[in-house]
Amino acid sequence: MSWYFKRSRLVVDPPVQFRLLGRLAAYLVVYTITLLHVGFAIEVFEKVVMADDGPLVADLYLDYLGREKSLLIGIGLILPVLLYDLLKFSHRIVGPLYRCRRWMLDMAAGKPVREFVPRKHDLMTELFAAFNVLIKTCNARVATAPGATTPPADATSSESNELAGEHHVAV
């Protein structure tokens, strides 16, 4: 069933995914600043203890940053790779939640929906199992409603498919 839904978009839910990326970037910035300043504080302490008439702290700071430029360049080079990887990873959570939201809107509109089938590597499989129990319960209620029609087992609302940008294949 891993081929059932193809991942066609990297960004599915921009507010959630970009908040995750922002948090990772902020963590790296805080880590880098902390690392640099702890190293700088140690160096200042060593120079102040060793010399009676030491250089100005500002001069020491600029000199230290100049020597640590490889660290700063390395962080600048690795940050885009980390952000891209986090974006791809977040898709394994956000993508299924986006699809679940589409299914829930159809269910709330009184439409029968088919079972939710996660894609290969999607996370939160326990949630999907519980969601499928809810789908079966709602579909049973819809089927017993007066004037209800039951869709084919592989069908779901075309509106959900178009909004989610998904292509469904019958199994």
Predicted pLDDT at 131 = 92
Give 10-41 pLDDT, tens digit per residue.
777 787 788 888 888 888 888 888 888 888 88
- The alpha carbon torsion through 118, 124, 129, 135 (nearest 10 deg) reads -70
Predicted pLDDT at 160 = 41
Give the integer Cα–Cα distance in Å for 171 and 169: 6
Answer with the residue of higher pLDDT: 171 or 57: 57
Predicted pLDDT at 132 = 92
**Taking 90 as the threshold, does the pLDDT of residue 105 lie above it?**
yes
Cβ–Cβ under 8 Å, residues 39 and 68: yes
Predicted pLDDT at 88 = 83
Mean pLDDT for all residues in the chain: 77
Which among 53-67, 125-139, 140-154 has the top mean pLDDT? 125-139
The confidence band for 42, taking pLDDT boundaries of 50, 70 and 90, is confident
Give 49-91 pLDDT, tens digit per residue.
676 666 677 888 888 888 888 888 888 888 888 888 888 888 8
Predicted pLDDT at 167 = 37
Predicted pLDDT at 161 = 43
Q: Which residues contact 72 (CB under 8 A, 6 or more apart)?
A: 32, 65
First-residue to last-residue Cα distance in the chain: 9
Q: How many residues can be counted in the chain?
A: 171
